[in-house]
Amino acid sequence: MVVDEDTGKLLGEVAGIDGAHGTAVAASTGHGFATSGNDQSVIMFDLKTFKTLGKIPAAEDADAILYDAPSNRVFTLNGDAHSSTVIDARQGTLITNIPLGGKPENGASAGDGKLYANITDTSEVVEIDAKTAAIVRRWSTAPCKQPVPMALDTAHHRLFSGCRSGVMAISDYQAGKVVATVPIGTGVDGAGYDAASGDAFASNADGALTVIHQDTPDQYHVLESVPTPQGSRNMGLDPTNHRIFLVSAKFGPAPAGGRGRAPVLPGSFSLMVIERAPAAR
């Protein structure tokens, strides 16, 4: 679904995605890319018309996806396949698959030819050279366990990993080491960093958005915990207007035996906008 973030109007939909997970925008080519996890592929679409332009093979559990501008390449993070599929953003063609040595969850491009991915089952971050499509190095996120979402502060070379163990780990990605951890909520699945305010964010399934302030590149504190609906664990941050976008829905009873996710109730899906309250005069 494509939404005008100023008016909330639905502009259109990208069809043909079987198990939508993530979207990457390559504005320079006019193309968007969405992972289609159930059929191990990526859908390329036109950013103006939202029409499907092609289908690119990926790998099992194609999940998160990101665009790297310097290489003009798109990288998927394939969880169960333990790999990243590399795609030419202009031609929409498969370049290669990179073995990652573990289950990737989310990643980010630093804009300098390097990109990073959280490896959740080994509790590591891997650094990838976008041009050579090869892993350069990896480091542990300990004491953080199960890192999932990621955000970057490129000015200070800091990397934020939201961890299912209830902390956010902040790494110096030039040195390749964790420099700080801060408590967050449970079930984190989204993260962001706003350079203008120096605030990092973690969206959690437990009904809270954790706001973390950067005092120095190596020192952080929790600024506040913003109540959100249960299950609001996916977020996006627009750095131009500093708005945070969260999605949620109402859910039915969990499956018998406690296995699997509770079904989404039809017509209950919602997109929410959070913005900073104006300062008191």
Collapse the DSSP code of 256 into the 3-class scheme (helix H, G, I; strand E, B; otherwise coil) and give the result: helix
Q: Note the Cα 189 to chain centre separation in Å.
A: 8
Residue-wise pLDDT for 110-163, tens only, equals 999 999 999 999 999 999 999 999 999 999 999 999 999 999 999 999 999 999
Who contacts 277 (Cβ-Cβ below 8 Å, separation ≥6)?
Answer: none
pLDDT score recorded for residue 264: 87
pLDDT score recorded for residue 93: 97
What is the C-alpha to C-alpha distance for residues 257 and 242, in angstroms, rounded to an integer? 42
In this structure, is residue 280 part of a structural domain? no
Judge whether residue 275 has pLDDT over 70: yes
In this structure, is residue 281 part of a structural domain? no
Distances 77 to 13, 16, 81, 160 between C-alpha atoms, Å: 23, 20, 9, 17
pLDDT score recorded for residue 279: 65
In this structure, is residue 155 part of a structural domain? yes
Q: Which tokens is 119 given?
A: 């490896």
Residue-wise pLDDT for 9-48, tens only, equals 999 999 999 999 999 999 999 999 999 999 999 999 999 9
DSSP bridge pairs for 97: 85
DSSP 205-237: TTTEEEEEEEEETTEEEEEEEEE--TT--EEEE
Judge whether residue 88 has pLDDT over 60: yes
pTM, rounded to two decimals: 0.94
pLDDT score recorded for residue 143: 96
In this structure, is residue 100 part of a structural domain? yes
Distances 215 to 108, 165, 230 between C-alpha atoms, Å: 23, 23, 30
In this structure, is residue 241 part of a structural domain? yes
Residue-wise pLDDT for 220-253, tens only, equals 999 999 999 988 999 999 999 999 999 999 888 8
Residue-wise pLDDT for 150-179, tens only, equals 999 999 999 999 999 999 999 999 999 999
pLDDT score recorded for residue 29: 97
| Region 77-82 average pLDDT | 97
Q: Which tokens is 253 given?
A: 């009873």
pLDDT score recorded for residue 281: 53
In this structure, is residue 16 part of a structural domain? yes
In this structure, is residue 208 part of a structural domain? yes
pLDDT score recorded for residue 226: 96
CATH number of domain containing 64:
2.130.10.10
Residue-wise pLDDT for 253-265, tens only, equals 888 877 778 888 9
pLDDT score recorded for residue 17: 95
- Which pLDDT band holds residue 280 (cuts at 50, 70, 90)? low
Mean pLDDT, the chain, whole residue set: 95
In this structure, is residue 279 part of a structural domain? no
- How many folded domains does the chain comprise? 1
- Give the range of the structural domain holding residue 115, as residue numbers without chain letter: 2-274
